[in-house]
Structure 1
């Protein structure tokens, strides 16, 4: 249960933070460039996937730490509908189609896939919380955005967060670090600030 409880705690924390952020300010009004709609990660997830992740099956708490069931793979054979729904949401590539070809502004953390030099990522995954894909299992694919950016994003630390502006596309891309259900054609990158 250690793996699942750690993952659930991290996911709940990230989803709650994103929900609070989404409620705390209006999307378009806060964007410095009104050409881009500022969105929150939670908006990229279909409502029923979000509901499944925020309400995991009660049986999750009954799994012993380190047991065979203490993993996504260990739960895969279960017949319980709530668990099936939860597992499907963890791996969901379902998207919110209204964002396809939308000009958006999205904050996130960079998980490098290709580096131009020691500090500059030119191909990467944008994720909603620090450590996703690196220290923790990856978020659901509909919470990962694939990015290529010739200019690159200079990283002084993996804890650096950025604002990315560009055109969001519904395109699934698989990598060793995770699967992204969205792709962003980047127009600009800036360090994150509230």
Structure 2
């Protein structure tokens, strides 16, 4: 089976051979854009947990009482991060916790796997938190707005005022979830 990218490369070579340089360059540009779109890795939150480690405990998801036992437990120890996607373009959906916001929108935020993460005690482990930075502000529809973020991804231990974070994502695109 021949991929779309292969067909476009053949078409580009054919057009170039005919001496239609402008059309050939346009076809090559389409092939490069198509290849880049095909290279986006769709990640889920379980993908961020190192193999052999248990998934996030359901008891950590959702509303957790703010009693002394919850506060004493603190952020669960991270079982490490995965470097499989370092330097790759990924797409990950989650919820926004703004860290740097102005009138134009949010430029820096934590992407978290569930509503209430980092606001309720304890925050998820570091391998379930992603620090997202964007050159263009995103107009989040409030705290915990559901979004899908696409951009350059990597393991990057970072400390914020709310929690230790295990990953970073430089956003090329931020969309409302499902939009």
Relative to the length of structure 1, the TM-score reads 0.62
Three-state SS of the structure 1 residue aligned to 2:78 is coil
Partner of 1:120: 105
Number of aligned residues: 137
Is 1:41 aligned to residue 45 of structure 2?
A: yes
Partner of 2:157: 172
1:46-91 C-alpha deviation (Å, 9 max, x unpaired): 133325x5599xxxxxxxxx6x6x34746x9xxxxxxxxxx8xx22
1:30-56 C-alpha deviation (Å, 9 max, x unpaired): xxx4231111011001133325x5599
Q: Comparing both structures, which one devotes a greater share of its residues to helix?
A: 1
Relative to the length of structure 2, the TM-score reads 0.66
In the alignment, the residues of structure 2 paired with residue 193 and residue 103 of structure 1 have an alpha-carbon distance, to the nearest angstrom, of 19
What is the alpha-carbon root mean square deviation over aligned residues? 2.7
Gaps of 5+ in 2: 1-36, 60-66
Partner of 2:85: 99
In the alignment, the residues of structure 2 paired with residue 72 and residue 48 of structure 1 have an alpha-carbon distance, to the nearest angstrom, of 28
Partner of 2:132: 147
Gaps of 5+ in 1: 1-32, 57-65, 77-86
In the alignment, the residues of structure 1 paired with residue 136 and residue 148 of structure 2 have an alpha-carbon distance, to the nearest angstrom, of 15
**Regions of 4+ moved over 3 Å:** 53-56, 71-74
